[in-house]
Structure 1
């Protein structure tokens, strides 16, 4: 038998580097089609376990582009250290990039290798901070012959797995620190969700973890989690709750609303504005419309456009407006009069206007006396 060392189990490379664990090579077929290559290995073991393969596991989901012609293209793995815009498409460029980013202590595990050990993942399942030296003690010696074993560590963000092989009795054991769903470690996704949903900063969280050498995934993986999982989940939850509110308000007839816009910067230089419609009886947000200034020809027109989109959305869901309370925006006044919707002024805006005029008059009186 021929024993080889594996440098990085992503692509079959002619450049090899010894690792702690060597596999016995039984088959070495390479299937090259665009961007996917695999190498199969068989682990020598006394256990009745299926053949395992170590390949690359991404902390982010893998998407296959569909062109609409022929079979679905082969999926291309993405590494945690590469942004999706920076991933090369040429095989030689991919291999050179992976060789330059390779770190022996940060190899990654393959989902198919650990899928047999996958356990049910519950959000309420407690998590603990464990030192690597304490984990290695569990796999240092063979439980049968008590000899020292070869131990290989594979890590991806908060995920870590160990493969223990005894050279004397051929005992093999594989262990992972957390479940893996598809190609994404559950702990990495839950960490991204905890930061995103609490309004925290992943960069600050990353600094804290690095200060105590606590392993965490990269910012690019966090953004991929947000784009692929977290933001679609938020949007889906919002649409479901919004439709439920619409259905509960439909039997009530006409509804009373309050609306106002919030811009990203004060004055007439705002680029984005969000117009919010509030149901006065229940104090619940019914709709939020995001407007960009170049869509409507300037920031001065964003408030009217946001109101128009919100009212159109309510009407498309069979909700009729009895009256609406807004500020004294001139375009809004004209639009509501054309739409024949009763308008009331917000007391806060009236009070702010009265205080403003009172300050102006007071200032004028002081200047005249002087």
Structure 2
């Protein structure tokens, strides 16, 4: 099978050839177009895909000539919505056509209607070219797609589509081989990726990056600061990673501002790659002139130290989600021990209280710590107590006597309470709470990392240039869809879906956003073709297997 586009053909006519064959009168037709010499005319002339749908010049049609009954007759208006009819160039629709079906179109001469005496097919990956000669010495050449400076356009488009959609050539090649559909092989694909695809991705990424940086610099020039979130992603689980990408996100717009790709050979170990990427990325943003107000990260000890020693003017905040996840893990482990089952019903409320303590403190470190430790009084049914000579109360409304009796409060001397106390009063946790009072989260970065798996799977190894290009594709995809609104029904009601998380015992309604927009891919495809048309870009065609058949 081959990918085919609306045909174009170069034909030569013998002046001595007659326009009738075996008593069959045929009309003279307009000259077909050569894809190598007049590609621009192909878009302008609305030629039919079928050989029997040729437009006439001056002479009226001869009703004695009837096309084969199997041919389709269609008017230009029947497919007015097709891309080819609208002249969309590379974006026109393409079809998988069986070779035997394609050769049926070359049984009759397109010029005089005589039988075709000889056809010769030549293939170059996804492109097939057919040379034909009829009994009246008319001949022509047809190609399934146009050429770009000697390269089949579809070969370049297939390679670009593989990379730009986050797929791998190995997977697509297996699919194509099973379907017996020729596409560029490994050598040709990786050569195109090196010369055309990766440079185009890098240039498009730089354009988007500079646009974001220009906006941030203008924001800083007006006297404001930039708030950043940062997190690292390794290319494989465990402690044997080869790459680590450290991403910085604007906390206001949720756009990825900058990313650093670190290879393990640039650091002392795979664990140290995170710190290397963080320092390198933050230094770059500061050197560009950004005024950073605070940076939110996880509780990495190495990043905590370097922020304290080298970036003391920038406030360092911790992501609450990571802390709450660790607290929940410790409480779950304690509740599974003997005599501590009473703690299990409280775990969800305890983690929610951690979020509440950080959110309601409004930047006050003492209030945050006091509200968190007040949990030890509330969970025992005590809602008013003294702390350092000051009277404290729970922030919730007063409970009725019935509510007070219905709650399963913990006893201060029970193993469940004592285990909870060790978690709540942990010195490291109380210290870190002071860096969580602005209630900052890096959940949107986790969403970006999840979407990045589409372009760079952790179970697949990529070269350095390929890994960088795929990371940049993920960033452009994320930044292009960062403001997606919630989808609505035909009645205008917001759409939602219900999920049942494993960690939860209840259904949760989550909003459904509108589908992502992938317009940046169309721009990349156009840039690839423009780069191919650039004569200054040197591309040496790798040796490819070309097949030829004569009938």
> TM (normalized to structure 2)?
0.44
1:161 is matched with: 129
The separation in 2 between residues aligned to 1:296 and 1:204, in whole angstroms, is: 32
| Pair 1:115 & 2:36 matched | yes
Distance 2:149 2:212 in 1: 35
Q: What SS does the aligned partner of 2:36 have?
A: helix
SS at match of 2:132: strand
- In the alignment, structure 1 residue 278 sits paired with structure 2 residue 245: no
Alpha-carbon distance in structure 2 between the residues aligned to 1:265 and 1:146: 64
Shift of 1:158: 1.5
- In the TM superposition, residue 264 of structure 1 has moved relative to its aligned partner by 2.3
Q: C-alpha separation between the residues in 2 aligned to 1:178 and 1:324?
A: 52
The aligned counterpart of 1:231 is 198
Q: CA deviation at 1:115?
A: 1.5
Tell me: higher relative CO, structure 1 or 2? Use CA pairs within 8 A at least 6 residues apart: 2
1:1-370 equivalences under 5 Å are 46=14, 115-118=36-39, 119=42, 122-142=89-109, 143-144=111-112, 146-166=114-134, 169-253=136-220, 254-337=225-308, 338-340=310-312, 341-363=314-336
Distance 1:249 1:260 in 2: 20
> Structure 1's 152 and 365: CA in aligned 2 closer, same or farther, altered over 3 A?
same
Runs of 4+ in 1 over 6 A off after TM superposition: none
2-structure distance, mates of 1:223, 1:285:
28
What is the distance in 2 between the residues matched to 1:364 and 1:266? 30
> Aligned partners of 2:138, 2:105: CA distance in 1, in Å?
14
- 1:78-123 CA-to-partner distances (Å, cap 9, x unmatched) read xxxxxxxxxxxxxxxxxxxxxxxxxxxxxxxxxxx95215345723
Separation in 2, partners of 1:203, 1:307: 33
Output the CA distance in 1 between the equivalents of 2:215 and 2:147. Answer: 40
Give the aligned partner of residue 106 of structure 1.
Answer: none
User: 3-state SS of the aligned residue for 2:230?
Assistant: strand
Q: Which residue of 1 aligns with 2:374?
A: none
* Residue 215 of structure 1: how far off its partner (Å): 3.0
Change over 3 Å in CA distance of 1:133–1:267 after alignment to 2: closer
Contact 2:217–2:289 (Cα < 8 Å) also in 1: yes
Q: Does structure 1 retain, via aligned residues, the 8 Å contact 2:132–2:139?
A: yes
Paired residue secondary structure (2:290): coil
What are the Cα deviations for residues 232-252 of structure 1, in whole angstroms up to 9, with x where unaligned?
A: 222211111010000011121
Please give the root-mean-square deviation of Cα atoms over the aligned residues, in Å: 2.8
Q: 2:433 is matched with which residue?
A: none
Change (3 A) 1:224 1:140: same
Instruction: Decide whether the 8 Å contact of 1:117 with 1:175 is kept in 2.
Output: no
After TM superposition, give the deviation of residue 284 of structure 1 in Å: 0.4
**Residues 212 and 299 of structure 1: CA distance in aligned 2, closer, same or farther (over 3 Å):** closer
- The structural deviation recorded for 1:45 is 6.4
Once residues 307 and 212 of structure 1 are traced to their aligned partners in structure 2, the CA distance between those partners, rounded to angstroms, is 46
The 3-state SS of whatever aligns with 1:220 is helix
Distance 1:173 1:319 in 2: 63
1:182 and 1:229 mapped to 2: Cα distance? 14
Aligned residues: 261
Distance of 2:152 and 2:116 partners within structure 1: 29
In the TM superposition, residue 147 of structure 1 has moved relative to its aligned partner by 4.6
Q: Distance in 2 between matches of 1:117 and 1:155?
A: 21
- How far apart in 1 are the matches of 2:92 and 2:231? 42
Return the alpha-carbon distance in structure 2 between the equivalents of residues 284 and 321 of structure 1: 15
SS at match of 1:314: helix
For structure 1, which segment, 213-222 or 178-187, has the greater mean C-alpha deviation from structure 2 after superposition? 213-222
Give 1 or 2 for the bigger CA radius of gyration. Answer: 2
Unaligned stretches of 5+ residues in structure 1: 1-42, 48-112
Per-residue CA deviations over 1:210-255 (Å, capped at 9, x if unaligned) read 3333332323322223222222222211111010000011121220
Distance 1:261 1:148, change over 3 A: closer
What SS class does the counterpart of residue 149 from structure 1 fall into?
strand
Quick check: 1:145–1:169 contact (8 Å CA) kept in 2?
no
Please give the TM-score of this superposition, normalised by the length of structure 1.
0.63
How many angstroms apart in 2 are the aligned matches of 1:156 and 1:117? Answer: 21
What do residues 188-212 of structure 1 show as CA deviations (whole Å, max 9, x unaligned)?
A: 2222222222223433333333333
Q: Secondary structure at the match of 2:174?
A: helix
- Give the whole-Å Cα distance in 2 for the aligned partners of 1:357 and 1:44: 82
